[in-house]
Every structure is written in C-alpha cells, then in structure tokens.
Amino acid sequence: MHELPQQLANGLALGALYGLIAIGYTMVYGIVQLINFAHGEIFMIGGFGALTTYLMLPSGTTLLVAIPLMIIGGAIASVTVATAAERFAYRPLRGAPRLAPLITAIGLSIVLQQLVWGFYPDAKKPLSFPEFGGDSFHLLDNLYLQRADAFILVLAPLCMLALGMFVSKSRSGRAMQATAQDPDTAKLMGINTNRIIVMAFAIGAAFAAVAAVAYGLDKGQIGWEMGFLLGLKAFTAAVLGGIGNIYGAMVGGVVLGLAEALSIAYIEEIPGMQQLGGGAWANVWAFVLLIVVLLVRPQGLLGERVTDRA
C-alpha cells in the first residue's frame, strides 16, 4: 500500500482527462439527446490544431507562452469542426428517428479520422508533441506528480468551475437549462434554441481541446486514432456519472480514472487474480465498473430519474 498515494494521483489525473472530454458528450446529450460519437475525433482535432499552432510559433518560444496559444489554436480547430458538424450533419436530422443521427455520428467519426490521416502532413504515423521538460513535483516521499498531470489537475477543476458558473448564473446558461428541460417551451420564452445547441457543441469542443493539449503534453505525441478509445472511455464516464449532468461527467471521469489506476496496481495482488491485473486488463475493469453501476443505478451516479412528462 506504500504506493497508494501515487496510484490515486495517477487515477485522478486520468479521470480529470476523461471528465473534460465527457463534458462534450453530456452537454450535447442533455440538450438534443444525441450521442455525438464523433466527439472523440473532435478531441483529436483539438490536438492537431494545438500542434499546428505550436509549429507556427517562432522556435525557442517557452512552453509557458506556447501552451495558452496552443489551447486557443486547438479550440479554434475543434469548435469549428464541431459546430460545422452540428450545422450540416446533425441539424438536418433533427426530428428524424434517433438512429439516423447516431449512425451519422459514427460515420462522421470515421470521416474525420480518415481526413486527418490522409491530409495532415505526416499524420499516417504518430506526430511528436511538445513535452514538459524539468522534474516532476516531489510532494511526499511516495508521491511524485508529473508536470503534465499537475497541469490537468489544475486546469480541469478550473474549467468545471467556469462552466458551472456559466450554466447557473448567466443568461445564456439559464437559457441552456431551459432548452434542455423543454425545448418547445424555451422557444415560447424567446430563446433561440438553435443558438443554444451550437453553444453546447462549442463548449464541449473547447473542453476537448484543453484535454487534447493535456494529453499531448503527457504522452509527447498525438495521432489520428487517439480519439477513438479515449472518446469511448469519456463516453463511459459520462454515462457512469449520469449523462446530461455536467457534474456527473466530472464525477464519472474521476471514478473511472481511479478504478483504472487502482485495478492496474492492485487486482493482481488479489490471490487467484494474478492474470487479470496490470495495464492490459484496465479497460476490462473500467467497463465492468460501468456495468455494475448501471445495474444498481441505471440513471448513473448523479443522474436524475427521468420522470414522465405530463
């Protein structure tokens, strides 16, 4: 158990990453009941936007200056693609049976992957991404925090706090809640619900870009396929936390991240389970957790039971 603090820190950092991406799934679902399966690719495009921005900076730019610019560049790319997808792929299908936009989302996900694979210079293999230099922070004798982990552990709560304030306090946030709860009645109040839907896609995409920068800084490389599994995990986090609930997305992300980190470290120590531990089985345990939670709480950890609408 000596390494427990370290495992918890690793799990929290991973969970914060899942949570940031999960926001995009949960906001869009909360408002238009669409599972945007292309959101993993929106995250990936955020990473490529950030890398492109970095490559355009004069050489010798310090990371302290580069990172904010990379986040902005990544967000411009991801928000542009996400809002274009909403406008041209999803909006024409509003009112169509649920399956139609879902299939569209899956198709869009493949198209975006292939476009980056085919047209981004040298993207057929992983591209190197700037990394934090310097030592990790030595917090306790048994706890080292990597700079990339510290980065996301600071940024994710800030993003969540800002989003929470926006949704509960601002005029647009109030309109967003109204649209999620009853879109037709929101229109009767004078709310332009199309604008609110675009806003939900844009916020999710911007958060995904922040996550992509954090991911790149941690791994030191990005690639066209990076959104697939991470997107799936983030979607899992959103469902785990209660899809449609923005705090649920973060809670689901953290729970999932911790479960993965702890399963990697401790499952193999359980007698008779040696073969089921380690990194190879982390995804299995993540999905086992999802299944167990949904059996007990189908609406997710923070989800509300859907009541009948009169």
Partner 1 sequence: MTALLEVEDLRVAYGKIEAVKGISFSVEAGQVVTLIGTNGAGKTTTLRTLSGLLKPSGGRITFDGKPLGNVPAHKIVALGLAHSPEGRHIFPRLTIAENLQLGAFLRTDKAGIEKDIQRAYDLFPILGERRKQAAGTLSGGEQQMLAMGRALMSQPKLLMLDEPSMGLSPIMMQKIMETIVELKAAGTTILLVEQNAQAALSLADQGHVMEVGKIVLSGPGSDLLHDESVRKAYLGED
Angle (nearest 5°) at CA 288 between 286 and 294: 105
Cα 120 from chain centre: 23
Residue with token string 């048994």: 142
Closest to partner 1 by CB, 190 vs 279, is 190
Residues near partner 1 (CB under 8 A) are: 171, 174-175, 177-178, 181-182, 184-193, 304, 307, 309-310
SS3 138: strand
Name the token pair of 282. 């982390």
Phi-psi region of 243 (alpha: psi -120 to 50; beta: other; left: phi over 0): beta
Give least dist CB 178 to partner 1, A.
Answer: 5
- Shortest Cβ distance from residue 122 to partner 1 (Å)? 46
C-beta closer to partner 1: residue 21 or 197? 197
What does the CA dihedral 277, 10, 166, 105 come to, rounded to 10 degrees? -40
Nearer to partner 1 by Cβ, of 99 and 188: the residue is 188
Closest separation in Å from C-beta 151 to partner 1: 34
Cβ closest to partner 1, residue 133 vs residue 190: 190
The tokens of 146 are what? Answer: 């990597």
Q: Which residues contact 153 (CB under 8 A, 6 or more apart)?
A: 12, 13, 16, 145
Alpha carbons 291 and 75: distance in angstroms, whole number: 33
Q: Which among 116, 112, 91 is positioned nearest to 201, based on CA atoms?
A: 91
Q: How far apart are CA 153 and CA 13, in angstroms?
A: 6
Q: For partner 1, which is the closer residue by CB, 185 or 275? A: 185
Provide the minimum distance between the beta carbon of 310 and partner 1 in the complex, in angstroms, as a whole number. 5
Minimum Å gap between C-beta 301 and partner 1 is 17
Nearer to partner 1, 125 or 309 (CB): 309
Map residue 274 onto helix, strand or coil: helix
CB closer to partner 1, 185 vs 274: 185
Minimum CB separation from partner 1 for residue 197, in Å?
A: 12
Decide whether 30 or 49 has the Cβ nearer to partner 1.
30
Segments in the chain forming alpha helices (H): 4-32, 39-56, 63-85, 99-119, 147-169, 171-181, 183-188, 193-219, 226-241, 246-266, 282-296
Q: Smallest distance from the beta carbon of 309 to partner 1, in angstroms? A: 8
The least distance separating partner 1 from the CB of residue 230, rounded to whole angstroms, comes to 30
